[in-house]
Amino acid sequence: MKYMLLIYQNEATSQARGEKQTAEFMGAYMAYTKAMRESGAYVAGDPLTLSSTATTVRVADGRAKVLNGPYAETKEQLGGYYIIDVADLDAATAWAARCPTAQAGGVLEVRPIRTM
Amino acid sequence: MAEGEETRRAIERAARQSYGKLLAFLAARTRDVAAAEDALAEAFASALARWPQQGVPRAPEAWLLTVARRRASDAARRRRTQVDAAGPLVLLADELQAATVASDIPDDRLRLMFACAHPAVEPAARAPLILQTVLGLDASTIASAFLVAPASMGQRLVRAKRKIRDAGIPFRVPERDELNDRLGAVLETIYAAFAEGWSDPAGTLPRRRDLAEEAIWLGRLVVTLLPDEPEALGLLALMLHAEARRGARRDTGGRYVPLAEQEPVCWDSALIDEAEAALARAGAMGRIGRFQLEAAVQSAHAARRLTGRTDWAAILELYDALLAQTGSPVVAINRAVAMTELRGAAAGLALLDDLAVDRRLAEYQPYWAARAGLLARVGDAAAADHAYEQAVALEADPAVRRFLQDCRARLHSTPAGGRRSHGRGAHDPGCRGRIDRLRRKP
């Protein structure tokens, strides 16, 4: 089954990381992604830019309303995603738990991808 | 006509004995519990239609599974689900060809139970789901056991089955590191099933007696599979203790006999011995829990067969510990009764009054029965009368209802009506020792 791992992080925490810590964190992500590829679970994955770069669009009465900022102003913001193909939910949550952001206090949401 | 009756009985027997096993087999291979239920229901309907003409097949379970598999596979083709149903179903067909007798069909009930008790399933749905799928209980029976409206229970079950299918929850026994959490939900469910079956004391309704036996069977299975889990042993001990007293709950005239008035010679000593052995094994592991405490309460009651007395001080201590662990209002009612035996009815009544804020108890028979008994003992006949009326109205068992009606009638014949003498006792050293062991923290 395919799952999307949505990675939520406190942006203040990630921005407060020093240069060395950031390099370590990136290294952890590279190792994580490599392990995911080698296991055959990896389908796709990308980091996102800060939520301050987000733009929200709503259509009301046929007209698009474009607004500055993310959809929800929460403490944790969506910071990246992976799509993985694994046997079941337990395998997906095991990958989620190994994610460097989860290890650093972030939150991962695991969502099955709907096949049409 | 006799033949038709015979066939119907064969189908009922297959339904009762095999439902959970067949459903577990189907669901574990497709992860779609609702579809497996539908397919199995259609298979039983086919059996009703065909067996009277064609005769009961040599391997009824395998026959039912083959029909159910065909239905499930048709349904999957019509409505392509997220789980790729074709793969598991091909595998299913191979396994079924090999299964010509019932014992050849693998028992996946434990895997099914762990799927139902998965942390991704809504907590309030886990136990009801196991009762419905593994034991084949209907939603309204489950709803009443859990003090929930039937409609909300139905929705809860539907949501949970959808979650299992759509989130890809696996059907497997969890690994060591996640086992503890997941086991608790499974054990609670087995106990709920046992309590449901135990409430038919005469054993006149085979389906309900089977339920208690099935629960004990499940309890033994979990103990066999997970021999180092003290709470599994505690649950087994608890169920065996209760089962040992099944026959003693009625006199020869079919009248209800409360525990305090039961003759210990009527208890099944072999079951008590087995329960004590299980509890001792659990105690030696040094990890206390709810089921070991509850079994220890039953053990303290059972000690009366040796000492002739009931150690209410010990029982009160066990209920203190249980209340601290669970916060359950049901435990609190039992604790109030134990307090009465030690300090008098007024003390017990004061504890029950504190509980009255819990609105769920307004429809809980044991609350009203306990309250009525205590009010009678303090001489408040009017309030006791009302409480007995509530208890009688909420009681489904005719023998218990008659017992409560008799207590109510006595309110008006004697000034201290309903008062009963209970053995109140010196401390049984064996029992004290057990409590001390149970209280010791690892």
SS3 letters for B62-115? HHHHHHHHHHHHHHHHHCCCCCCCHHHHHHHHHHHHHCCCHHHCCCCHHHHHHH
A chain contacts of residue B76, beta-carbon cutoff 8 Å: none
Q: Please tell me which of the candidates A87, A89, A115 has its beta carbon nearest to residue B167.
A: A89
Q: Which of A22-36, B10-24, B267-281, B313-327 comes out lowest in average pLDDT?
A: B10-24
Answer whether A90 sits within 8 Å of B170, measured CB to CB.
yes
CB contact residues (below 8 A), chain A span 90-109, against chain B? 90, 92-93
- Going from the C-alpha of B169 to that of each of A81, B70, B88, B124, B369, the distances in angstroms are 21, 23, 15, 17, 43
Answer whether A89 sits within 8 Å of B169, measured CB to CB.
yes
Instruction: Please state the ipTM of this predicted complex.
Output: 0.87
**8 Å CB contact between B297 and B434:** no
Report the candidate in B434, B391, B429, B383 with the shortest Cα–Cα distance to residue B258. Answer: B391
Residue B195 vs residue B439, higher pLDDT: B195
Q: Residue ranges of the alpha helices (H) in B379-440? A: 381-394, 398-413, 429-439
Strand ranges of the sheet holding A107-112, from the earlier edge strand across to the other edge = A42-47, A76-85, A2-10, A107-112
Residues in CB range of B67: below 8 A, 6 or more apart: B42, B43, B46, B47
Answer whether A1 sits within 8 Å of B168, measured CB to CB.
yes
* Per-residue pLDDT at A94: 95
Residue range B250-266: mean pLDDT, rounded: 89
Q: Which of B166-175, B360-369, B371-380, B422-431 comes out lowest in average pLDDT?
A: B422-431
* Per-residue pLDDT at B201: 52
Residues in CB range of B378: below 8 A, 6 or more apart: B345, B346, B349
pLDDT in tens, B2-25: 667 777 777 777 776 788 889 999
Most confident of B133-142, B230-239, B375-384: B230-239
B120 C-beta neighbours (distance < 10 Å), count: 15
Give the closest-approach CA distance of B82 to chain A in angstroms.
6
pLDDT in tens, B19-41: 888 999 999 988 999 999 999 99
Question: What mean pLDDT is reported for chain A?
Answer: 94
Q: Any chain B CB within 8 A of the CB of A112? A: yes
Tally the residues of chain A: 116
**8 Å CB contact between B160 and B122:** yes
Residue B83 vs residue B234, higher pLDDT: B234
CB contact residues (below 8 A), chain A span 12-71, against chain B? none
Residue B253 class from Cβ within 10 Å (0-12 exposed, 13-18 middle, 19+ buried)? exposed
Report the candidate in B366, B320, B355 with the shortest Cα–Cα distance to residue B339. Answer: B320
Q: Which of A50-59, A95-104, B141-150, B268-277 comes out lowest in average pLDDT?
A: B141-150
Q: Which of B26-35, B88-97, B385-394, B433-442 comes out lowest in average pLDDT?
A: B433-442
B chain contacts of residue A5, beta-carbon cutoff 8 Å: none
Q: Are strands A107-112 and A2-10 parallel, antiparallel or unpaired?
A: antiparallel
**8 Å CB contact between B82 and B32:** no
Residue A55: φ, ψ to 5° = -130, 135
- Going from the C-alpha of B269 to that of each of B45, B200, B245, B252, B389, the distances in angstroms are 43, 21, 9, 19, 36
Give the closest-approach CA distance of B117 to chain A in angstroms.
13
Answer whether B168 sits within 8 Å of A92, measured CB to CB.
yes
Return d(Cα B120, Cα B117) in angstroms, integer.
Answer: 8
Q: Which helix (H) or strand (E) holds A57?
A: strand A55-60
Answer whether B82 sits within 8 Å of A1, measured CB to CB.
yes
Give the closest-approach CA distance of B159 to chain A in angstroms.
16
Map out the domains of chain A with their CATH numbers. Answer: 2-112 (3.30.70.1060)
Question: Which residue's structure tokens are 């020869």?
Answer: B252
Nearest CA in chain A to B80: A116
What percent of chain B shows pLDDT beyond 70? 82
Return d(Cα B294, Cα B239) in angstroms, integer.
Answer: 10
**B397 band by pLDDT with thresholds 50, 70 and 90:** confident
B chain contacts of residue A3, beta-carbon cutoff 8 Å: 168
**8 Å CB contact between A75 and A8:** no
Residue B135 has pLDDT above 80, yes or no: no
Answer whether B118 sits within 8 Å of A89, measured CB to CB.
yes
Q: Please tell me which of the candidates B167, B170, B172 has its beta carbon nearest to residue A112.
A: B167
Nearest CA in chain B to A85: B168
Judged by DSSP in three states, A55 sits in: strand
Residue range B427-442: mean pLDDT, rounded: 32
